Amino acid sequence: MDKVHYNTLVKGKVQGVWFRKYTKDQADRLGIRGFVENDANGNVYVEAEGTTDAMDAFIETLKKGSPLSKVSQVLYDIESPKGFKEFKIIR
């Protein structure tokens, strides 16, 4: 299957609620590679790549969010894969 790369911005109450750890756990479960980080505006930014099916499932998990989070919006665009080797929490 072909791989796709998503640049994703998750808005809402997503910092200080274990959202990045949740995101990494979901990425690892789905075989997705990339990274997650907090941004200066209180959002979470994710670059991730995997199969189309895995990425569709991943976006759904981001919309759900970690147990303590309150996701208000998930925005993403699709690019060509960058060849990430693992999924990391950056900051």
User: What residues are labeled active site?
Assistant: 20, 38
Q: How far apart are CA 2 and CA 9, in angstroms?
A: 23
Check if the beta carbon of residue 54 is closer than 8 Å to that of residue 31. yes
> What is the C-alpha to C-alpha distance for residues 44 and 71, in angstroms, rounded to an integer?
10
